[in-house]
Amino acid sequence: MSTNPWIQRQDEERDPSDDGQLDGRVLAPPAPTGPVAPHAGVPAPRAADCLLRRELDEHEQAIALWWLGVHGGAGESTLEQLLEGSRAASHAWPITAVDEPSARVVLVARTHDRGLRAVQLAATEWASGSVPVQLEGLVLLADAPGRLPKPLKELAELVAGGVPNVWRVPWVESWRRGEPVSAASAPSDVARLLDHLRALSPIVASNHPS
């Protein structure tokens, strides 16, 4: 399989303050040992640009879906509230034991420049084959009301070419004001996201009032 032309090595330093507080054992990204798919020949980013990794305990290995925010404030905790059976990954790849199925992961990022470049690095790391997870796709949450400026729109389109699925969530003013996060009152884009994930795995259910 040929590599995606959008995958590029980035030289920006990752902000250490975005790593978040983690439970469990946190592991530094290992040196790449060579691609093992999904895209043979894609080099992993340098270690400083890779996300941390966390070994899951026995209970965590039963989590149906992990939201992986690739930068601080991406929105992984918000999405966790929308989907029963899912969990925010605290900005670290969730790694299962060798005899367990790989964790199912959805990347999460805001649509500003820093967020899009961070998710490009994460997608490149996954594409190198160095991260043993099942990547379902990417959620892009609007970082502000209105349409994206042309440069950000073009960057978002490039990033979208490197992941299996992309879902876009518009700006939700009520969430900004701190009102309860609910699938029942969320935009239709959120409903489509949840429906798609439920179709991918019957274990995952929307977290809305019955």
pLDDT at position 135 is: 96
Of 46, 22, 17, 18, residue with least CA distance to 125? 46
Cβ neighbors of 110 (< 8 A, separation 6 or more) are 71, 73, 74, 75, 140, 141, 142, 143
Is the Cα dihedral 161, 39, 125, 108 positive or negative? positive
pLDDT at position 202 is: 56
pLDDT at position 201 is: 67
pLDDT at position 198 is: 84
Percent of the chain at pLDDT exceeding 90: 60
Q: Which residues of the chain have pLDDT under 50?
A: 1-37, 205-210
pLDDT at position 38 is: 55
pLDDT at position 203 is: 54
Q: What is the pTM of this model?
A: 0.79
pLDDT at position 66 is: 97
Tell me how far apart the alpha carbons of residues 61 and 194 are, in angstroms, rounded to a whole number.
21
pLDDT at position 7 is: 44
Boundaries of every domain in the chain: 47-206
**Is the distance from CB of 88 to CB of 80 less than 8 angstroms?**
yes
pLDDT at position 157 is: 96
